[in-house]
Amino acid sequence: MNEPFEKLKEDLRRSSASDQKEIFLEYCQKLIDLKESGELTEENVGSDIVSAMLLPDLIENPEYEAIFDIASDMEISRESSFRQGIGNWDAKAADGIKRDEWEQFVAAVSFAGKGFAAGK
């Protein structure tokens, strides 16, 4: 994968609680950039964000709750989307669901970033 991203991922894992907020937002933004450049899917981004939930200082921050909630939906594949009726799966609907989840995720990261910047 992307070498600067891998370094950022490692920095997030090794960071102190006081540095995690800023590094996590950088991490989220890098994932957004990688998805928008076609290197990742929404599912990949969701999975990478959910893995950050293993860092207790991050999950205790209420401003990141929306990011984690949306990411947990994003990591579910289009084909397994629980938001469509059983036996009624439709590719166009699945694409729309993933697009909505993506837009919500980008908005949540932006909102958290503005809150972080205001608190600096």
Cut 0.75: pTM above it: yes
C-alpha angle 50/52/64, rounded to 5°? 80
- Could you state, in order of their start, the residue ranges of all structural domains in the chain? 3-119
Q: Best-predicted range by mean pLDDT among 4-8, 27-31, 83-87, 96-100?
A: 27-31
- Cα–Cα distance between 62 and 65 in angstroms, integer? 5
C-alpha angle 118/119/120, rounded to 5°? 95
What per-residue confidence (pLDDT) applies to 120?
Answer: 57
Residue 32: band (very low, low, confident or very high) from pLDDT cuts 50, 70, 90: very high
Q: Which residues of 83-103 are buried (b: 16+ CB within 10 A; e: fewer)?
A: eeeeeeeeeeebeebbeebbe
Residue 83: band (very low, low, confident or very high) from pLDDT cuts 50, 70, 90: low
- Cα–Cα distance between 1 and 72 in angstroms, integer? 22
CA distances for 35 relative to 2, 48, 66, angstroms: 12, 12, 19
Is the pLDDT confidence value at 85 over 80?
no
